[in-house]
A and B are shown apart, each in its own frame.
Chain A
C-alpha cells in the first residue's frame, strides 16, 4: 500500500480521491453541506440518507412509547408511504422484538379532486391491501410528504370504510406546510417551509434506488 507512493504521483491522487469517498474521512463542514446544501442542478438536499435513517429510527421510538398498551398497525399510503411503513416496522421490531402489522392504502378511489375532471384518473399506484381487521385497532397512517392534507383525508375515509379503528394517528417524513385541512402529523421526520410552486421530491431506495429528500425551488424574482 505504502509502496504506491513511490511509483507515480497520480496514484497518490487516486488513493486520495478514494479516501474522500469514505464517510469517516469527510470533514464536518462537507457533511453539513451535504445535508442542507445546494446541488448543482438547483435542488436543495433537505434530508440525506443518514438523516432519513435517523428520522425513521426516532419516529419508531416515538411510536413504540405511544403504544405501550396496544400494538400499532401501520398503513402506508402508496406509493412511498409503504416502504416507509416497512422501515418503521423493522425499527419497531428491533426495539420490541415484535413487528407490527403493515398494509397499503391506495386512496385513489377516495380523492376529492376527481369529480372536477381536471386531474387524470390514475391506475398505476397500486392497490389497497392489508390482511388485518381495523375494527378497534390503533392505526398509524404513514406517508412521505404532508402537504395540503387532502391525501390523509382520503386515507381516513378509506380506512373507515373498512371498519372503526379505536384511534388513527399520522406519521410523515416531511411536513412542507401549506395545509388546506385541519390535519397534523403525530410523528414527524422533518418540517420545512415551502412555497406552493416548490416541489418536494422524496426518493426512497425501494422505489427510486436512493435515499434522499430534495427541494426544487421555483425561481422567483426577489422583491
Chain B
C-alpha cells in the first residue's frame, strides 16, 4: 500500500535542532495535528493507546512548570506510565552523578527519558551511555528543541489559516526574536529550526545580550527594536531572566523596557497581522506589554496547547519507529 509520507523516522533521540534535517522537522510538524485533534475531543476519552505500557521518565533537574507538565500530559495522553523526578526529590542533591541517576532509572526499564538540565550538552552525553530514548527538554543555554518545534508548528498553523493554503510552509517568512539572545536556548533552537524551514530570522537585543558572531548562524543582528520589527511576520519576545540581573548585563530594567519592550507602540512598525509569541513565563510589562500579551495578535496560549501535541508527536515517533537495536 502506498503511504503518503516519504520520510521515515530513524532517530532514537531528540537532542538538538542543529542535528535535524528539514524533512525530519516537517515530519514532526505533520505528525502533530492528529494529536491536537485527540485533545480537542468533545466527548469520550482524550487519549490514544500508542505508548500503552511504556514508561516515560521526566527527569527535571532545573525548575520548570510549563515544560514539565506539558511532557507529562503528552505521555499520559499517549497512555504511557509516567514518573517525574524533580531536583528537590532526587538523589542529585545527595551528590549522585547524572550517569548514575539515569542508570538507576534504566534499571527500572524506562523507554523514554525526558531531561531538563542546567548543563549544556548533558542530554547529548547521556545518549552515548544509555539505551533509553532521550528527549532534551532544555539544557543550559544550549538548546530547547521541543520549544522550537512547537513554535514552528504554531507559526505554520497561522500562516496556513491566513493564506487559506493547507500546504503552506515557513518559506520567506521573517521572524524577529527579541531579548536576551545570549542566554536563551529557546532562541538558539528557534534559529536552527526556523532557518532550516526557510524563514529568515533577525535577532535583537542589547549588545551585551547578543552573543558575538551570532550572525554565523545565518541571522540578521540589530540593537534597534523598530528595525527588527519592520516587515516581521512574527515578533518573538524572550523572557528577561531577572535572576541574571545581578550580573549587570544591561544598565537598568527601566532602560531595557524603554528600548526593547514589545508593546502596542513599538508593534506599529510591524505588519498588521504579525503574530506575537513568547515562550513563557512572561514578565508582564517588562519584555512584553500586558495588553499585547492578552491582545488579538498574541498566540501565546496556542503555543502551550500545541506544545502537548508536538511532544506527543515526538514521543510517538521516537518510541514507535525505527529499527530496534
Q: Are B324 and A117 touching (Cβ within 8 A)? A: yes
Asked whether any CB of chain B lies closer than 8 Å to the CB of A163, the reply is yes
Chain B, residue nearest A154 (CB): B49
Partner of B43, one of A110, A115, A120, A163: A163
Considering the complex of A and B, which 10 residue pairs feature the smallest CB-CB distances, nearest first? Answer: A124-B4, A162-B44, A109-B48, A161-B45, A114-B320, A123-B30, A121-B321, A124-B5, A123-B5, A122-B3
Q: Are B320 and A115 touching (Cβ within 8 A)? A: yes
Partner of B31, one of A121, A128, A163: A121
Residues of chain B in range 20-65 having any CB-CB distance to chain A below 8 Å = 27, 30-31, 33-34, 37-38, 41, 43-45, 47-50
Q: Are B317 and A121 touching (Cβ within 8 A)? A: yes
A110 to B44, CA, bound (A): 15
Q: A109-B50, A123-B5 are in contact. List 9 more A-B contacts (CB 8 A).
A: A114-B321, A115-B50, A121-B8, A121-B31, A121-B321, A123-B27, A127-B37, A161-B47, A161-B48
Asked whether any CB of chain A lies closer than 8 Å to the CB of B316, the reply is yes
Q: Which residues from chain B contact A122 at a C-beta distance below 8 Å?
A: 3-5
Residues of chain A in range 153-201 having any CB-CB distance to chain B below 8 Å = 157, 161-163
Chain A interface, >50% SS class: loop
A114 to B317, CA, bound (A): 10
Shortest distance between the CB of A148 and any CB in chain B (Å): 13
A114 to B322, CA, bound (A): 10
Asked whether any CB of chain B lies closer than 8 Å to the CB of A106, the reply is yes
Chain A, residue nearest B44 (CB): A162
Chain B, residue nearest A120 (CB): B8
Q: Are A123 and B37 touching (Cβ within 8 A)? A: no
Q: Are A127 and B323 touching (Cβ within 8 A)? A: no
Asked whether any CB of chain A lies closer than 8 Å to the CB of B9, the reply is yes
Q: Which residues from chain A contact B30 at a C-beta distance below 8 Å?
A: 123-124
A106 to B48, CA, bound (A): 12
Partner of B41, one of A106, A115, A125, A162: A162
Q: How many chain A residues touch the partner (CB < 8 A)? A: 23
User: What are 7 inter-chain pairs, A to B, with CB distance below 8 A?
Assistant: A114-B320, A117-B320, A117-B323, A127-B33, A129-B37, A133-B43, A134-B44
Shortest distance between the CB of B122 and any CB in chain A (Å): 27
Q: Are A121 and B9 touching (Cβ within 8 A)? A: yes
Q: Are A114 and B44 touching (Cβ within 8 A)? A: no
Chain A, residue nearest B50 (CB): A109
Chain B, residue nearest A125 (CB): B4
Q: Are B5 and A135 touching (Cβ within 8 A)? A: no
A109 to B37, CA, bound (A): 11
Contact with A along B295-325 (1 / 0, CB 8 A): 0000000000000000000001101111110
Q: Which residues from chain A contact B48 at a C-beta distance below 8 Å?
A: 109-110, 161
Q: Which of B44, B317, B322 has the most CB of A within 10 A?
A: B44
Contact with A along B226-258 (1 / 0, CB 8 A): 000000000000000000000000000000000
Chain A, residue nearest B49 (CB): A110
Q: Which of B43, B319, B323 has the most CB of A within 10 A?
A: B43
A127 to B323, CA, bound (A): 26
A106 to B38, CA, bound (A): 12
Q: Are B5 and A117 touching (Cβ within 8 A)? A: no
Q: Which residues from chain A contact B323 at a C-beta distance below 8 Å?
A: 117
Q: Which residues from chain B contact A117 at a C-beta distance below 8 Å?
A: 320-324
A127 to B36, CA, bound (A): 10
Residues of chain B in range 95-154 having any CB-CB distance to chain A below 8 Å = none
Q: Are B324 and A106 touching (Cβ within 8 A)? A: no
Residues of chain A in range 10-24 having any CB-CB distance to chain B below 8 Å = none
A129 to B31, CA, bound (A): 16
Q: Which residues from chain B contact A121 at a C-beta distance below 8 Å?
A: 8-9, 31, 316-317, 320-321
